[in-house]
Structure 1
Amino acid sequence: MFKKILIANRGEIACRVIKTARKMGIKTVAVYSDADRNALHVEMADEAVHIGPPPANQSYIVIEKIMEAIRATGAEAVHPGYGFLSENAKFAEALAAEGVAFIGPPSGAIEAMGDKITSKKIAKEAGVSTVPGYMGIIEDAEEAVRISREIGYPVMLKASAGGGGKGMRIAWNDEEAREGFQSSKNEAASSFGDDRIFIEKFVTQPRHIEIQVLCDGHGNGVYLGERECSIQRRNQKVVEEAPSPFLDEATRRAMGEQAVALAKAVGYASAGTVEFIVDGDRNFYFLEMNTRLQVEHPVTELITGVDLVEQMIRVANGEKLALAQEDVALTGWAIENRLYAEDPYRNFLPSIGRLTRYRPPEEIAAGPLAENDRWHGDAPRGEAAVRNDTGVYEGGEISMYYDPMIAKLCTWAPTREAAIEQMRVALDSFEVEGIGHNLPFLSAVMDHPKFIAGEMTTAFIAEEFPEGFEGVELPDAELRRIAAAAAAMHRVVEIRRARVSGRMDNHERKVGRDWVVTLQGQDYATVVDADRAGATVRFADGTAHRVASDWTPGCQLGVFDVDGEELVLKVGPISSGFRIRSRGADLDVHVRTPRAAELAALMPEKVEPDTSKMLLCPMPGLIVNVDVEVGDEVQEGQRLCTVEAMKMENVLRAERKAVVSAINVAAGDSLAVDEIIMEFE
């Protein structure tokens, strides 16, 4: 077995690989850019080597810099993680020339399957059903338009070497095909060093379901079930689960056998994923093969008990697979939610900054992975599992240079319903402050009727949140539970205030019982009767809730028992109450005396400043280009400028007809959120 491996990646996947290597007794080497000098993967590894400036094309994807780090440390093998150099055949060849093992497939398989154009040709020749499209090299935007017309709109423009949603655009007409072609080329060149683009028919109402395969260098191969990845935003997966709530056993077997046959046809050896589009009648069509470890691999590990990173290392070491297809069993259900550094209230735009608070929920070991002693943490055992794969820490910074995903929160339980409930509690327990993040949105998805029913397609987010995410309106029953908890909390705060002031001898007796709790535009008159075990909160209509908790003032996470059911709240202080976040809702909860509540209702609302004649930067980013000049009359929908953030280009357009009166930026400028880009008359 290898004694030392280098991880040619960063963030959570580097940390993930280090955990398995440590379990196997293998030393690890991390590489890092200037931006990652204090990163968690650097701290976790046994050694670390600096490889250059923050931009990936000057550090993480420069093959020679990785090779220098290998030579300097004597690493015997390299795990590429995902992204960066993970599907770069030249990198695999460079390692082979140096006598260093690549913990991934042979370079020939990478070339054949990692390149989306080539892989589709091979799949078609092998009799695999593929989506209609043009597999050749497209020279310019006009050729892209011509091909798109022949295929028929809508079409998908995709980077040949792409992945992770980078270099992908949907075009519904000629103009979008021209624009999407150039943006896709730019993103592909920046992210992968390869600007080739291909076009295929965009299938409406599809499900995105992928098969995990595992092959060795001795001709053996198995499939480890499927993953449902249909909940996507901008072609980037957000929620994944295994197995799929849609597939039946016959379809699963057919997809799995086809995936393994395709892998064997190209001499594949390692973990890989074959992706399919599946329609409503369970017809499936080959999309692509990812010749690497997938971001969402933990859900497969949780239902099978197979450590995929360990298997990749063993295959790279020349070992045969220790399991046959009949050994693979799918047990229970696993769900993964991707925590992104992005603001869901601002159309999911990237957010950067310092993590002033980062407290994931406690990890719990359960299920096949725990039973097979392949758990990656020192977690207590339970009936359901919680796993958090992360690469950040409290006090660390989220950089603008890399992908905005900062953690993968996973749960496992014997049933899908139980796994979803475990995820709800885990999301409510996850504390993140200092940056924008998508935890509220993830909570909203977990409570959405279509997700609960398993009735989702890749259009789920676009269809269910057409105006973007504007928060969650909680039902009255949940508001009452939160109101009861807030009233009980307020009583504890008042007792503390009385005790600290020293004004009262019997603090609890002197604290009032009557309070009006205001949240989500509703007032709830309550009476709080407390005893040593908790409090009974009675409402004006005669209903009551029994509340028990050990919450104390200043604690930012409250766990309550409300009528025998758990309620987890993130709690922060505001004037006359609390900021409470729960199940995707962000609530200002005011607790006042009846007279104070009466007067508060008469207070005027604060008017927001008028920014209607300004174009504000929606995210921290870099101005790529400005497409208008002072004095130009712009029309609704006209392109104004492009902002790049976290490897993605974002085109900003005019909301209505106007005349540009001032431009405050130029290409190359770095901007913060809400900086004024231009002004209008």
Structure 2
Amino acid sequence: MFDKILIANRGEIACRVIKTARKMGIRTVAVYSDADKDALHVRMADEAVHIGPPQANQSYIVIDKIMAAIKATGAQAVHPGYGFLSERAEFAQALAAAGVEFIGPPVGAIEAMGDKITSKKLAAEAGVSTVPGYMGLIGDADEAVKISREIGYPVMIKASAGGGGKGMRIAWNDQEVVEGFQSSKNEAASSFGDDRIFIEKFVTSPRHIEIQVLGDKHGNCLYLGERECSIQRRNQKVIEEAPSPFLDPETRKAMGEQAVALAKAVDYCSAGTVEFIVDGEKNFYFLEMNTRLQVEHPVTELITRIDLVEQMIRVAAGEKLAFGQEDIDLDGWAIESRLYAEDPYRNFLPSIGRLTRYRPPEEHSHLTSVVRNDTGVYEGGEISMYYDPMIAKLCTWAPDRERAIEAMRDAVDAFEVEGIGHNLPFLSAVMDHPRFIEGRLTTAFIADEFPDGFSGVTLPGSTLRRVAAVAAAMKLIVERRAARISGTMSNHERAVGTRWVVSAQGEEFDVAIENGGEEATVRFADDEGLGVRLDWTPGDTVARANIGGDAMALKVELRTEGFRIRYRGSDLDVKVRTPRAAELARLMPEKLPPDTSKMLLCPMPGVVVKINVAEGDEVQDGQALCTVEAMKMENVLRAERKAKVSKINAKPGQSLAVDEVIMEFE
């Protein structure tokens, strides 16, 4: 077994590998860029080596710099994580030449299956059902349009060396092919150092289901069940689960055996994933093979109790798999929610900044439930614009899907993140969505169910009442505390009333509080009484309540007339006033926000890549105005209506902050 390994990656996956290596008694070496000098993976590793500037193409994907770090530290093996150099055959070759073990598959398998074009051809030759498409090199946008017309719209434009949704676009017409082709090439070159593009038919309303395979160097290969990865946004997975709520045992077995056959055809060893798209009739088509560890591997680990990183290390060290296909048992249900530094209220655009608060739910592993959080950040750390926006993977396990979903709801409720925009409210919304609960999933789930974007959750009446009851109970605690403090100072404690008017989400509730404190009864005007047991002190950012035996965790921020309360995807400004104050508040005029309808504002921190128009131009609804790049993704900003450009305030190469004015219109 190895004494020391280097992790050629960053963030949560680097931390994940370090945890397993530490468990196995193996010392670890981290590498880091200027942007990551204070990163969590650097703090966790036994050693750390600086490798260059923040940009990945000047640090993390520069093979010579990684090789220099290996030589300087004497690492015997390298785990590449995912992304960066994980599927670069040249890197594996460089390691072999230096006598360093690659904790991944052999070079031949990477070359055969890591390249999307080659893998499609090999799969077709092996008799694997594949999606129609053009696997040759595409020279320019005109050729891409011609090929797309022959295949038939819609088509998927994809980076050959890609992954993680980078360099991927769906095009429904010629114009979208022209725009998507160049953006895909740019993203592919930036993320992978390889701008080759291919095009295939986009199968509408498919499920994305993948099979985890694991092989050793002695010819043994098996599959560890499947993962349902259909909930995606911009072709990037958001929520995964294992097993799939759609597959039956027969289909699972057929997909698994086909995945193993494909892996054996290229003498595959280590962990890998064969991805399929599956239609409503359970017909499945080979999509691609990822010759690396997948982001969503924890859900497979939770239902199989097999540490995939440990197995990768053991396989790389020459050990045989200690189990066979007959030993694989899928136990219970696991769900993974990806926490992204993306603002769902701004169409999920990237958000950067300092994590002023980062408090994940407490991890645990019991017989009936598991909460696991794989992360690469910490409170006070910085979220950089240079890398992928994912900052954590929150996972839950339970004996069945219903309880795994409920565990995820509770875990998301208790997850505190402040200082950046993040998608926790959206994750809550998905967990409560009827279609998700029923398991009726496709890759179009988000587009279908949130066609106008995400603007928060409107709580049902019964849930809103419970929130109002908790708010009233908290208000009483705040007022009684203030009364005691003022009484101590003046030797006269003022009386605190027990009648309040709670307003939230456009509704008002007249309530009276009986008892108060940690246990209270909140009685509504219709005489319904809710018993509230409350664990909260002014200043706490999470209020834990129990109403009628049902536990609630609400994120709380004290405000002048009440609270900001976030719960189950909603973000509420809850006012708790005396009856007289509520009466006067109804007479106050509403303050309107400033009019920015004649301005194009930068929706996220980023760099202007291209300005598509000039001052004086007439633009049409949907016309591309400019492109802004952030976190390795190009975002095309379009006109919302017909207008004339009166002033352009930004230029290509300029860095912009959120809401900075890019251009103005007449």
Within 5 A, what are the aligned runs for 1:564-579? 564-579=549-564
**Where does residue 253 of structure 1 map in the other structure?**
253
Within 5 A, what are the aligned runs for 1:448-459? 448-459=433-444
**Where does residue 52 of structure 2 map in the other structure?**
52
Listed one character per residue, the Cα deviations across residues 321-343 of structure 1 (whole Å, up to 9, x for unaligned) are 11100000000000000000010
Deviation of the 1:510 alpha carbon: 2.7
Contact kept? 2:158, 2:198, Cα under 8 Å: yes
Within 5 A, what are the aligned runs for 1:198-209? 198-209=198-209
Deviation of the 1:550 alpha carbon: 2.2
**Where does residue 343 of structure 2 map in the other structure?**
343
Deviation of the 1:434 alpha carbon: 0.3
Counterpart-to-counterpart distance in 2, 1:635 and 1:451: 37
Letter paired with 1:282:
K
**Where does residue 420 of structure 1 map in the other structure?**
405
Letter paired with 2:443:
T
Listed one character per residue, the Cα deviations across residues 3-45 of structure 1 (whole Å, up to 9, x for unaligned) are 0000000000000000000000000000000000000000000
Counterpart-to-counterpart distance in 2, 1:506 and 1:560: 32
SS in 1 for 2:588: coil
Listed one character per residue, the Cα deviations across residues 350-400 of structure 1 (whole Å, up to 9, x for unaligned) are 000000000000001135xxxxxxxxxxxxxxx211000000000000000
**Where does residue 563 of structure 1 map in the other structure?**
548
Deviation of the 1:598 alpha carbon: 1.1
**Where does residue 321 of structure 2 map in the other structure?**
321
Within 5 A, what are the aligned runs for 1:402-421? 402-421=387-406
Percent sequence identity is 77
1:679 equivalenced with 2:638 (yes/no): no
Q: 1:598 aligns with which of 583, 589, 599?
A: 583
**Where does residue 139 of structure 2 map in the other structure?**
139
Counterpart-to-counterpart distance in 2, 1:602 and 1:342: 38
Stretch moving more, 649-658 or 330-339: 649-658
Deviation of the 1:78 alpha carbon: 0.2
For structure 1, the 5+ residue unaligned runs are 368-382
Deviation of the 1:215 alpha carbon: 0.4
Counterpart-to-counterpart distance in 1, 2:653 and 2:561: 46
**Where does residue 308 of structure 1 map in the other structure?**
308
Deviation of the 1:575 alpha carbon: 1.9
**Where does residue 235 of structure 1 map in the other structure?**
235
**Where does residue 373 of structure 2 map in the other structure?**
388
1:37 equivalenced with 2:37 (yes/no): yes
Counterpart-to-counterpart distance in 2, 1:550 and 1:453: 33
Counterpart-to-counterpart distance in 2, 1:301 and 1:391: 19
Counterpart-to-counterpart distance in 1, 2:642 and 2:283: 46
Letter paired with 1:399:
S
Contact kept? 2:276, 2:286, Cα under 8 Å: yes
1:641 equivalenced with 2:626 (yes/no): yes
**Where does residue 608 of structure 1 map in the other structure?**
593
Q: 1:469 aligns with which of 429, 441, 454?
A: 454
Stretch moving more, 631-640 or 270-279: 631-640
Listed one character per residue, the Cα deviations across residues 446-482 of structure 1 (whole Å, up to 9, x for unaligned) are 0000000000100000000000001000000000111
Counterpart-to-counterpart distance in 2, 1:656 and 1:107: 52
**Where does residue 379 of structure 1 map in the other structure?**
none
Listed one character per residue, the Cα deviations across residues 189-240 of structure 1 (whole Å, up to 9, x for unaligned) are 0000000000000000100000000001111011000000000000000000
Counterpart-to-counterpart distance in 2, 1:532 and 1:129: 64
Counterpart-to-counterpart distance in 1, 2:616 and 2:204: 41
SS in 1 for 2:582: helix
**Where does residue 480 of structure 2 map in the other structure?**
495
SS in 2 for 1:560: strand
Listed one character per residue, the Cα deviations across residues 614-643 of structure 1 (whole Å, up to 9, x for unaligned) are 111011000111111112222222111110
SS in 1 for 2:365: coil
Counterpart-to-counterpart distance in 2, 1:614 and 1:523: 36
Within 5 A, what are the aligned runs for 1:131-530? 131-366=131-366, 383-502=368-487, 510-530=495-515
Counterpart-to-counterpart distance in 2, 1:561 and 1:656: 49
**Where does residue 653 of structure 2 map in the other structure?**
668
Counterpart-to-counterpart distance in 2, 1:605 and 1:267: 69
Contact kept? 1:226, 1:244, Cα under 8 Å: yes
Contact kept? 1:411, 1:422, Cα under 8 Å: yes
For the structure 1 residues 533 and 496, does the alpha-carbon distance in structure 2 shift closer, same or farther, using more than 3 Å as the test? Answer: closer
Letter paired with 1:263:
A
Stretch moving more, 159-168 or 595-604: 595-604
Counterpart-to-counterpart distance in 2, 1:294 and 1:10: 15
Contact kept? 1:428, 1:568, Cα under 8 Å: yes
SS in 2 for 1:43: helix
Counterpart-to-counterpart distance in 1, 2:612 and 2:173: 21
Within 5 A, what are the aligned runs for 1:57-96? 57-96=57-96
Counterpart-to-counterpart distance in 1, 2:246 and 2:517: 49
**Where does residue 372 of structure 1 map in the other structure?**
none
SS in 2 for 1:194: coil
Deviation of the 1:662 alpha carbon: 1.1
* Matched residues, number: 665
Letter paired with 1:252:
R
Contact kept? 2:148, 2:199, Cα under 8 Å: yes
Contact kept? 1:366, 1:412, Cα under 8 Å: no
Q: 1:618 aligns with which of 593, 600, 603?
A: 603
Counterpart-to-counterpart distance in 2, 1:430 and 1:149: 47
Listed one character per residue, the Cα deviations across residues 281-329 of structure 1 (whole Å, up to 9, x for unaligned) are 1010000000000000000000000000000000000111111000000
Letter paired with 2:593:
E
Deviation of the 1:532 alpha carbon: 6.5
Counterpart-to-counterpart distance in 1, 2:588 and 2:324: 70
Counterpart-to-counterpart distance in 1, 2:284 and 2:516: 61
Counterpart-to-counterpart distance in 2, 1:49 and 1:366: 38
SS in 2 for 1:330: coil
SS in 2 for 1:31: strand
Counterpart-to-counterpart distance in 2, 1:95 and 1:644: 33
Q: TM-score, normalised on structure 1?
A: 0.97
1:544 equivalenced with 2:529 (yes/no): yes
For structure 2, the 5+ residue unaligned runs are none
Counterpart-to-counterpart distance in 2, 1:533 and 1:114: 58
Counterpart-to-counterpart distance in 2, 1:132 and 1:484: 57
**Where does residue 377 of structure 1 map in the other structure?**
none
Counterpart-to-counterpart distance in 2, 1:415 and 1:7: 35
Counterpart-to-counterpart distance in 1, 2:166 and 2:603: 20
Counterpart-to-counterpart distance in 1, 2:270 and 2:67: 22
Counterpart-to-counterpart distance in 1, 2:223 and 2:495: 67
Deviation of the 1:533 alpha carbon: 5.6
Q: TM-score, normalised on structure 2?
A: 0.99
Listed one character per residue, the Cα deviations across residues 249-278 of structure 1 (whole Å, up to 9, x for unaligned) are 000000000000100000101000000000
**Where does residue 101 of structure 2 map in the other structure?**
101
Counterpart-to-counterpart distance in 2, 1:530 and 1:415: 40
SS in 2 for 1:598: helix
Counterpart-to-counterpart distance in 2, 1:557 and 1:511: 24
Listed one character per residue, the Cα deviations across residues 406-434 of structure 1 (whole Å, up to 9, x for unaligned) are 00000000010000000000000000000
**Where does residue 17 of structure 1 map in the other structure?**
17
Deviation of the 1:506 alpha carbon: 8.9
Counterpart-to-counterpart distance in 2, 1:348 and 1:676: 19
Letter paired with 1:41:
H
Contact kept? 2:32, 2:48, Cα under 8 Å: yes
Counterpart-to-counterpart distance in 1, 2:583 and 2:517: 31
